[in-house]
Amino acid sequence: MSTPNLLYSDVEDDLRASVRGLLTDRGGPPAVLTRVESAEPYDLKLWRTLSAELGVAGLHVPENLGGQGASARETALVMEELGRGLAPVPFLGSAVLATSALLGADTSAEPVAALLRGLASGEAIGTLLVPLSTGVGSGFTPSVRVEENVLTGTVRTVADATVADVFVVPATGPDGTGLYEVSATGPGVTVAEVVPLDLTRRIADVTLDAATATLLVGPADAQGALDRALLTGAGLLASEQLGVAQWCLDETVAYVKQRYQFGRPVGSFQALKHRLADVWLALVAARAAARYAADRLASENETDTETGIAVALAQSYCADVAVHAAEECVQLHGGIGMTWEHPAHLYLKRAKADQLALGTPGTHRGNLAGLIDLPG
């Protein structure tokens, strides 16, 4: 087993500063709070700036395919910052899930390369047409059928579908399984947004009624490409959960320092110190787990057993840490109550939604037990 590198490099620190600075300039969580209730809950102007100026849309796409040639470590760093800022941009659907599925395919094929270039530049927004709750190792479901490159079926709760230009669709048919490209605005495609728990990452039901499709990945490689996308998505989601937890801790510590009760800051009370210390300890362990997963996903053997262990470990732990940190954030802001005007509730909802995304902690613990031969 190789020794993981859990530290941030100088390049990653510079990238973090750039992303955080841009999000701060755009108003941070208070601006997100205003946007989620508007007619445009996604900030596509911010997404275009992130893509054009910082190149985050194609961060781990090879340079010859229009990307930045970085690794999953840098992508994880961006996930962490976007989670910390709760940025309403389609990074998970487009830059992680759809892009990772395509990178698991034959990238020398022109349809795959062309779509990758579009996603990497940010000119096109894509997403993988699977329910957001789909866990690592899930096989192809019969919900979408293909007959002569025409797709029919419905997929529910797809992340970032409402702003996607193109879908990467897992489908089954007489010739076996495959991944297909479908235009989100093409004939026979209906996108119906559903009421989300997480207001900053929208979900939608997508119905394909004889929608014309282009084959991207054939039966020989389709399952591998889908597995890679789900594994990468779950592993990088741990970094987003880390960012959510970090914001909750930072914001709560700042609050209990400045709110007074009985003539002293409430943060000086021992009971609150212990609760915040517990969150900090959990966050330190979560950072190690998330960085381990990112480091393994950046390796050449990103689908090996060790990577599977790292991802299962990170997701089974970081999901619960993010929820715990968000719950403590809401409770320790007790003096202001549970108000709609404070962004704390957005973080709690993101943490709870992430806890169900790409496999629950229980599912990942089950996967981990199998990978390390834990006796039942």
How much is the pLDDT for 141? 85
Strands of 202-329 (E only): list them: 203-212, 214-217, 260-261, 264-265
Give the model's pLDDT for residue 1. 60
Encode pLDDT of 76-130 as tens digits.
999 999 999 999 999 999 999 999 999 999 999 999 999 999 999 999 999 999 9
11 close to 39: Cβ distance less than 8 angstroms: no
Contact status, residue 173 vs residue 113, Cβ threshold 8 Å: no
Residues linked to residue 127 through DSSP beta bridges, in sequence order: 167
| Nearest residue to 167 via CA among 127, 136, 194 | 127
Whole-angstrom distance between the N-terminal and C-terminal Cα of the chain?
25
Cβ contacts of residue 89 below 8 Å, gap of 6+?
A: 42, 43, 44, 46, 47, 50, 82
The torsion angles phi and psi of 248, rounded to 5 degrees, stand at: -60, -40
Name which of 153, 164, 245, 243 is nearest 203 in CA terms. Answer: 164
Q: Quote the tokens at residue 342.
A: 């404070």
CA atoms within 13 A on the CB side of 219: 7
Contact 166, 90 (CB under 8 A): no
- The rounded Cα 15 to chain-centroid distance in angstroms is 18
User: Rg of the Cα trace of the chain?
Assistant: 21
Closest CA to 148 of 211, 220, 224: 211
| Token pair listed for 351 | 């943490």
Q: In this structure, is the dihedral angle defined by the CA atoms of residues 274, 279, 284 and 288, taken in order, positive or negative?
A: positive
Q: What is the pLDDT, as a whole number, of residue 338?
A: 60
Mean per-residue pLDDT pooled into runs of 10, the chain (376 residues): 84 96 92 90 96 95 95 97 97 98 94 97 97 92 92 97 98 95 97 94 97 95 95 97 98 94 92 97 98 92 84 97 96 76 94 97 95 83
Q: Which helix (H) or strand (E) holds 157?
A: strand 150-159
The pLDDT value recorded for residue 303 is 60
Two tokens, residue 147 = 């007959």
| Domains and their CATH numbers in the chain | 10-125 (1.10.540.10), 127-219 (2.40.110.10), 223-372 (1.20.140.10)
Give yes or no for a contact between 99 and 235, defined as CB atoms under 8 angstroms apart. Answer: no
pLDDT of the residue at 341? 86
Question: What whole-number distance in Å separates Cα of residue 287 and Cα of residue 299?
Answer: 18
CA 308, 312, 315, 318: dihedral to nearest 10 degrees?
Answer: -110
pLDDT the model gives residue 376: 63
